[in-house]
């Protein structure tokens, strides 16, 4: 069965259809002469070997070539031609006593040749249908990859703009408010307190904007690694939503591929967002650990569980995006009910041997 997972492991389309493409590029008159001549050559050899060494099976070869060249109708025409060649080649050495018996034998050979043409056409059609489906699946996977890539780049652009643009402007406004407050304070004016409060509000806005920028553009804005990005995700989300999010600290995770770090971060980010929006959880736990050459990312919550939250979550693209990101990493993705109540989202990735093996941090 062809699936998106194994489609790319099959032969590429140009290789699978190379014979058909070569045959169809040849001039029609050349192919007709080749096929008629090949059938005649087999008939001549069949005549020389005599009845006891009949080579009627070999007539299927030019029939298959005709099918690959022009389809079933061409194969059926050549099947009729091959039947006539067989009839001429074996007439002299035929053991049949009557003409009717020999003609019936010729008809049985024609039926065999016709079935060879029909069977070859079915194989050809199935191969071309499979090749078209593989191409469609490849294009679909490429489209999904492009969509995720465009979304990722857009988020990175917005995060960079927030970090480099809005945050800097707010910081400058905060400095101006501070200068205004100092000036008003020097004049002993009561408005100095209001200006100081405005500065405090601007500083809070700067912190919120930077937190948003880190959430949108986490691993590349901050090069400290995946575990730090997850810790900041927990801190920011907990502060904005009021939901307690725990991360068990341990040794640092060092992934050499920043794209893998980004995919894992986005899976955790989406899982946490789903838990906050749909499960009614009051506690979310993020775990990351390595064992036996595997890296496992786990997000658990104490919410309403998978069955109750799935209807709300399935309307969005979150689950499909998480599955696609895991598939892009070659990782195993699962989402299931938690034994103690709630939901567990897990992503299991095989890591390279040079990654640290001790348990990093996690929740069993």
**Non-local CB neighbours of 23 within 8 Å, separated by 6+ positions:** 31, 65, 68, 69
∠ CA 322-325-326, rounded to 5°? 85
Residue showing tokens 């959880």: 281
Q: Where are the beta strands (DSSP E) in the chain?
A: 244-247, 283-291, 294-301, 332-337, 343-350
Residue showing tokens 């988020």: 155
Please state the domain extents for the chain: 4-145, 226-364
The per-residue pLDDT for range 73-126, each reduced to its tens digit, is: 888 888 888 888 888 877 776 777 777 777 787 788 888 888 888 888 888 888
The lowest-confidence range among 11-20, 47-56, 236-245, 302-311 is: 11-20
Collapse the DSSP code of 356 into the 3-class scheme (helix H, G, I; strand E, B; otherwise coil) and give the result: coil
CATH architecture for residues 226-364? 2-Layer Sandwich (3.30)
Would you place residue 285 in the very low, low, confident or very high pLDDT band (cuts 50, 70, 90)?
Answer: very high
pTM above 0.75, yes or no: no
Nearest to 77 by CA among 91, 56, 62: 62
Looking at the DSSP bridge assignments, the partners of residue 346 are 298, 334
User: What is the bridge-based pairing of β-strands 294-301 and 283-291?
Assistant: antiparallel
**DSSP secondary structure, 312-330, as one string:** HHTTSSHHHHHHHHHHHHT
In this prediction, residues 213-217 reach a mean pLDDT of 63
């Amino acid at each position: 069965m062809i699936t998106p997972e194994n489609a790319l492991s099959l032969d590429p389309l140009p290789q699978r259809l190379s014979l058909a493409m070569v045959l169809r590029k040849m001039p029609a008159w050349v192919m007709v002469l080749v096929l008629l001549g090949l059938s005649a050559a087999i008939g001549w050899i069949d005549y020389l070997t005599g009845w006891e060494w009949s080579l009627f099976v070999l007539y299927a070869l030019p029939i298959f070539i005709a099918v690959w060249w022009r389809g079933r109708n061409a194969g059926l025409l050549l099947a009729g031609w091959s039947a006539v060649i067989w009839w001429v080649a074996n007439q002299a050495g035929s053991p049949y006593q009557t003409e009717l018996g020999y003609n019936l034998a010729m008809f049985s050979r024609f039926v065999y040749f016709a079935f060879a043409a029909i069977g070859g056409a079915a194989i050809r059609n199935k191969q071309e249908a499979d090749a078209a489906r593989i191409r469609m699946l490849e294009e679909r996977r490429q489209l999904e990859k492009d969509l995720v890539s465009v979304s990722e780049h857009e988020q990175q652009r917005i995060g960079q703009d927030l970090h480099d643009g809005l945050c800097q402007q707010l910081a400058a406004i905060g400095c101006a408010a501070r200068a205004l407050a100092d000036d008003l304070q020097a004049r002993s004016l009561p408005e100095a307190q209001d200006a100081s409060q405005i500065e405090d509000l601007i500083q809070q806005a700067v912190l919120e904007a930077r937190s948003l920028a880190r959430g949108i553009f986490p691993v590349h804005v901050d090069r400290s690694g995946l575990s730090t990005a997850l810790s900041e995700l927990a801190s920011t989300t907990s502060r904005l939503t009021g939901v307690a999010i725990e991360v068990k600290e341990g040794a640092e995770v060092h992934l050499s591929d920043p794209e893998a770090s980004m995919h894992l971060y986005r899976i955790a980010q989406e899982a946490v967002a789903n838990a906050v929006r749909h499960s009614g959880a009051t506690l979310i736990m993020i775990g990351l650990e390595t064992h036996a050459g595997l890296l496992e990312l786990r997000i658990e919550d104490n919410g309403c569980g998978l069955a109750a939250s799935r209807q709300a979550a399935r309307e969005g693209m979150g689950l499909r995006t998480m599955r696609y990101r895991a598939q892009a990493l070659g990782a195993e993705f699962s989402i299931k009910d938690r034994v103690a109540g709630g939901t567990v989202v897990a992503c299991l990735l095989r890591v390279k041997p040079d990654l640290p093996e001790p348990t990093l941090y996690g929740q069993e």
